[in-house]
Amino acid sequence: MKVFKFIISISLIILAVNVYGQENEVKISLISGPKGIFLRLDGTEELSKLKIGEKKFAVKRKRLDEANFKTIGSMEAANSEAKINSILSAEDLKEFETGQETKMLDFIKSKPSYQSVSLFGELNPGFLQIWGLGMQDASVDKGHFYIYRVFEIQGNSEMLYAESGVFHNRTNEILKDVKAELSSISGMDSSVRFNWKITIPSLEIPEAVEAKQASLFNSINEKTLKVSKKYYEEIRNFLRTEGKIFSSFPISQFNTHFNVYYRINKEVNWTFHSKRIAGTDSLGNTFITADISCNPEDLVEMKVVPEDNVLNQGTESAIARGIAVSNNQVTLIYGLNSKDSTNAIILDWAKLPEKAYYSGIEISRSYEDEPIKTLAILPASANTFTDLDIYPAGRIFTYYVKPLFIEKQDLRQEIPASAAQSCSKFSKPLPPFNVKVETSNGKPKISWEAAEDKSIHSYHVYRGTSSTQFDLISNSVYKTDFIDSTSNISPRLTYFYKIVAMNLTQDTSDYSVTVPYTPEFAASDMYSPDLIEASAINNQIWLKWADVKLNDDFVEGYQLERQKVGESLFIKLHNGMLQNAIFNDTTALPGIDYNYRVTSVSTNGFLGKYSKISKVNMPTSDADVMPITDIKATNLSKSIRISWPSVETDDIISYIIYKKLPTETNFERIGMVAKGIFEFEDERVENDEIYVFSVTAINAKGKESKIVQKKSIYRETK
């Protein structure tokens, strides 16, 4: 990053051409603003030698894409009071003439040095204009780059004095980074003083942006100072976007003002107070101060808007609020009462008056050598506080209470009201809730939640083999979980658990809800079939196995699973569990090899050991495609839905839907759906009509099943 010095403007790329052999010191500055482009003589050396009214200048201008310059005005000292009054305000003129003890016109005629009154010129461009050192060009358009040439008039001839250029964006980009931050507020009975810390940034240009600017400006013709229409648009677009920083010119305490606005008691409109210039304190901090006169206890609001000396404005500050009152006029909290209550310590104090300068009440607490801790910030209207965090029991706490005031205002209570108190009363605990039991490393793990209550000392865990009879198995659980490590837990039984909480005074809660738990067990602990007998008969696979339910009352049924040979997953072939030790697989496809396995299912849903795998081959068949039966037709509001059994088979690739009237002989094909879809909606229906529907299946070889079922439905008038 490079500092963008005050004497540099974005036009310096043009000056680098040095067509006229000028020195590198900038002699003029161009400043874009809301009223146009302000042109002024500049340069420390030049201004130090200058006398007001001694020289006269002609100003010429052209746009960067134009060929010729044209004269737009001149800079010369004002020679009439009318000219002076048209530029300077009566207030500015009076301030100057009072300080100089002479009329402005007489002052100009005396041809004084600029150095003697430079402060006026640097703070107010109007003085530069009437002294012939500046000019306001209002005849420019926003978003264009202009080049200016200033000629010194010597008799009948003109000598080039300086030239420069500027992109007219009617703004000063760096102003948005000028910050006015409220530092303090001082209240009195009839005024409020606001103090603001001012941050004025230096102007920096990223090297990449500076390099791109240089590249674009290299397209300028050195002799004509003109670019083509194409390059001009590129330059304009650059200066409107990533090159916006070149619409900045450096600012300082001397060319930056701060417009102060205020309003009292939340008036609708803001009132202009003054235009301030930042000062510097002994520590080097930049600041402004403003006093707002008002009535006692008025609410005063203030905001600050940065502005440069050609009326470009920056970002408005945050609104500051202060009250016309001093610290010795406000009511403070002097007395604090405390008392022991159930599970709490209660504080109370005299209520504060309703005043706008209070922002809240701070409650703090300490214990022995521990630091003071803020517990809460309450509304200013509060006069009581309940502290529920009073543990460990019996601890004596010291409490502090004081009012808080508007931020940054010099109002405060130096020594808060205080009181010491402990708590010794506790309520009966609430029962634990959300009790859960799960298996952890083969053992039942019971977990629960409890109400936020620091008086809880421990928990009791109860277990039973019925929901009505329990035994205490632990009375010293200090966490909210417990592992039942009893060795004789049987997987063939269901157990029940419930929890009780106990507080510091050994008062116990009611029981929690009762939660059942059935232990997990090894699959080998339950009888399971060892082998499946399987055979393919009439395009179906018949399976049977030993009925082990006869040998083990813990077995309630069976689960049969099938796997295509070559695939990894076994798929369950039925819903729920099988009650019988036999099954007919009607979904097996011809030419496919299958693996089957079966296991027992216990009364509580556990699975036993799987049987050995039985492999079966379903012979290939050229038989007809299985027809569709059990067709259903349902009237809907705007259609008739046709549906059929959702049986998924690998050889079926699609279904065809047919429709006809009872009086017609042949069916009309009305739709087709892919495999996996088992319904179709016919919207081409009319009321008071009977329709006949049918569905066929298409296999992978393109063969269609026969129409074996026809479903009629009457379309009623709704």
Q: Answer yes or no: is 217 within a domain.
A: no
Same domain, 407 and 337: yes
Structure confidence at residue 19 as a pLDDT band (50, 70, 90) = very low
Structure confidence at residue 25 as a pLDDT band (50, 70, 90) = low
Q: Answer yes or no: is 624 within a domain.
A: no
Find the largest Cα–Cα distance for the chain.
132
Span 96-132, pLDDT tens digits: 999 899 999 999 999 999 988 888 888 889 999 999 9
Would you state the pLDDT for residue 395? 86
Q: Answer yes or no: is 457 within a domain.
A: yes
Would you state the pLDDT for residue 717? 67
User: Where among 290, 323, 356 does a domain terminate?
Assistant: 323
Same domain, 664 and 603: no
What residues are paired with 464 via a beta bridge?
A: 496
Q: Answer yes or no: is 223 within a domain.
A: no
Would you state the pLDDT for residue 391? 78
Q: Answer yes or no: is 237 within a domain.
A: no
Would you state the pLDDT for residue 141? 95
Helix and strand numbers (H, E) in the chain are 9, 45
pLDDT at 4 over 60: no
- Mean of per-residue pLDDT scores for the chain: 88
Q: Answer yes or no: is 279 within a domain.
A: yes
- The answer to whether the CB of 1 falls within 8 A of the CB of 207 is yes
Same domain, 301 and 183: yes
Beta strands in 207-297 (DSSP E): 256-264, 271-276, 279-280, 286-293
pLDDT at 621 over 90: no
Other C-beta atoms closer than 10 Å to the C-beta of 263 total 17
Residue with tokens 């909606």: 681
Same domain, 390 and 467: no
Structure confidence at residue 204 as a pLDDT band (50, 70, 90) = confident
Structure confidence at residue 658 as a pLDDT band (50, 70, 90) = very high
- The answer to whether the CB of 369 falls within 8 A of the CB of 146 is no
pLDDT > 90: what percent of the chain?
Answer: 60
Domains: count for the chain:
6
Helix (H) or strand (E) holding 227: none
Averaged pLDDT, 181-201: 93
Structure confidence at residue 412 as a pLDDT band (50, 70, 90) = very high
- Non-local CB neighbours of 679 within 8 Å, separated by 6+ positions: 641, 642, 643, 644, 673
Same domain, 199 and 298: yes
Would you state the pLDDT for residue 13? 34
pLDDT at 454 over 50: yes
Read off the CATH number of the domain in which 596 is found: 2.60.40.10
Would you state the pLDDT for residue 10? 38
- The answer to whether the CB of 361 falls within 8 A of the CB of 379 is yes
Span 157-174, pLDDT tens digits: 999 999 999 999 998 888
Q: How far apart are CA 280 and CA 628, in angstroms?
A: 96
Same domain, 26 and 168: yes
Q: Answer yes or no: is 210 within a domain.
A: no
Span 457-480, pLDDT tens digits: 899 999 998 888 999 999 889 999
pLDDT at 619 over 50: yes
Span 312-346, pLDDT tens digits: 999 999 999 999 999 999 999 999 999 998 888 99
Same domain, 608 and 548: yes
Same domain, 690 and 645: yes
Higher per-residue pLDDT: 279 or 18? 279
Same domain, 608 and 544: yes
Same domain, 94 and 6: yes
CA 82 to chain centroid, in Å, comes to 59
Same domain, 262 and 308: yes
Q: Answer yes or no: is 188 within a domain.
A: yes
Q: How far apart are CA 24 and CA 27, in angstroms?
A: 9
Query: In this structure, what token pair is assigned to residue 542?
Result: 């018949």
Q: How far apart are CA 194 and CA 258, in angstroms?
A: 13
List C-alpha distances in Å: 526 to 442, 579, 583.
17, 16, 22
pLDDT at 393 over 90: no
Per the structure, the complete domain to which residue 463 belongs is given by 433-517
Span 348-384, pLDDT tens digits: 999 999 999 999 999 999 998 789 999 999 999 999 9
User: Where among 617, 646, 667 does a domain terminate?
Assistant: 617
- The answer to whether the CB of 429 falls within 8 A of the CB of 456 is yes
Averaged pLDDT, 548-552: 88
User: Where among 593, 617, 641 does a domain terminate?
Assistant: 617
Query: In this structure, what token pair is assigned to residue 391?
Result: 């543990």
Span 395-405, pLDDT tens digits: 899 999 999 99
Q: How far apart are CA 183 and CA 197, in angstroms?
A: 6
Averaged pLDDT, 409-435: 91
Span 505-541, pLDDT tens digits: 788 899 999 999 988 776 677 889 999 998 776 678 8
Same domain, 313 and 386: no
